[in-house]
Amino acid sequence: MTDSAPSLELTNLEPTAADMTAQVARGLSNSQKTMPSAFFYDEPGSALFDEICRVPEYYPTRTELAIMAASLPEMAAAIGPEALVIEYGSGTGLKTRGLLSALERPVGYVPVEISREFLMTSAEALQAEFGDLEVLPVCADFTEPFEVPKPSKPAQRRALYFPGSTIGNFRPEFATKLLRQMRDEVGSGGCALIGVDLVKVTQTLEAAYNDAQGVTAKFNLNMLRRANAELGADFDLDAFRHRAVWVQERSAIEMRLYARRPTAVNLGGKRFTFLEGEWIHTEDSHKYTLEAFASLAQQAGFDVDRVWTDDDKLFSVQYLLAR
């Protein structure tokens, strides 16, 4: 850590309000209404997600942190010295700090986050803490290809860090596409360190996304608040309630917002109506067996080289090598 850190240079690819309005309107026009999960993460939404990570029912964060704490030296040795670390959905960098501290002479860190304000706050804190590390923030939707900024020092390899089981938020076919994008960004001989949530009993899964404190409900409803504030929509937030359900045939938790009563919303010059009990599908959280995720990775040009899990096999951190 140094007394003064260099100023950060932001690569800003943040979607415009017009882009988001069109994307939300398309989702609400579907027979099964949807909203893009990237829309969760404005500054209040990102803060609420951090709060979710601390509720008793939400096992993924504390379990992944425990796995990382127990195995960081092995993970860092696998990645090797002088790596450029790219992180999708960087958030506050809670898990990142441990990884960066364990790595040998990392040459740069590229946090990629959709919420610009949240990104810059986190990036500035990391830059102050790791003053010798070049931090190169990118505000973008990481599900679309983007150019990775180059650090001033040459990297021995690129390492993609994707913690938190976020890979599970995508349908398997899109998860494969995203993994291919990661593979292209790290290049042959590059690597990825990915958090992957595992299949387990329904009660544990549904409790994790329907916490007793109602934090996940606030997080889900914040999407509608944001649409009102930023896109000129007129959602009646009291007309919707949160519920997450386990869908066995899809091996996924579905986050939903149910209409409590008939209601309507105006957005982008269009009117969308809801019957009582109709829902908006806001997010998936797919759970994998180790074999199923290995197959997915192979289709994308990665081989699973190492897997670390907790004793109860709730969660895994997987080290992938790009072919």
pLDDT of 51 higher than 90: yes
Assess whether pLDDT exceeds 70 at residue 2.
no
Give pLDDT, residue 7.
67
Mean pLDDT of 20-45: 93
Share of the chain above pLDDT 90, in %: 85
Task: Flag whether pLDDT at 165 surpasses 80.
Answer: yes
Report pLDDT digits (tens) over 80-127: 999 999 999 887 778 899 999 999 999 999 999 888 888 898 899 999
Residue 3 in this model has a pLDDT that exceeds 80: no
* pLDDT at 1 (0 to 100): 43
Q: Long-range pairs for 259-267 at CB < 8 Å and ≥24 separation?
A: 263/236, 263/239, 265/28, 265/233, 265/234, 265/235, 265/236, 266/233, 266/234, 267/21, 267/24, 267/25, 267/28, 267/227, 267/231, 267/232, 267/233, 267/234
Structure-model confidence comparison of residues 14 and 119, the more confident one: 119
What pLDDT, on the 0 to 100 scale, is given for residue 38?
82
pLDDT of residue 238: 98
Supply the pLDDT for residue 141: 87
pTM to 2 decimal places: 0.91
Letter for the amino acid at 251? S
**So what's the pLDDT on residue 278?**
98
Give the architecture (CATH level 2) of 1-226+287-323.
Answer: 3-Layer(aba) Sandwich (3.40)
Q: Where are the domains of the chain?
A: 1-226+287-323
Q: What pLDDT was estimated at residue 6? A: 57
Letter string b/e over residues 131-167, b meaning 16 or more CB atoms within 10 A of that residue's CB: eebbbbbbbbbbbeebebbebeeebbbbbbbbbbbbb
d(CA 201, CA 207): 10
**239-275, pLDDT tens digit by residue?**
999 999 999 999 999 999 999 999 999 999 999 999 9
Angle separating helix axes 215-231 and 43-52, nearest 10 degrees: 170
State the Cα torsion 219-221-225-226 to the nearest 10°: 50
Q: Which residues contact 69 (CB under 8 A, 6 or more apart)?
A: 98
Tokens of 179: 């993994």
Q: Is the pLDDT of residue 222 over 60?
A: yes
**pLDDT (0 to 100) of residue 94:** 80
More confidently predicted of 15 and 29? 29
Range of weakest confidence among 136-140, 205-209, 311-315: 136-140
**280 DSSP β-pair partners:** 257
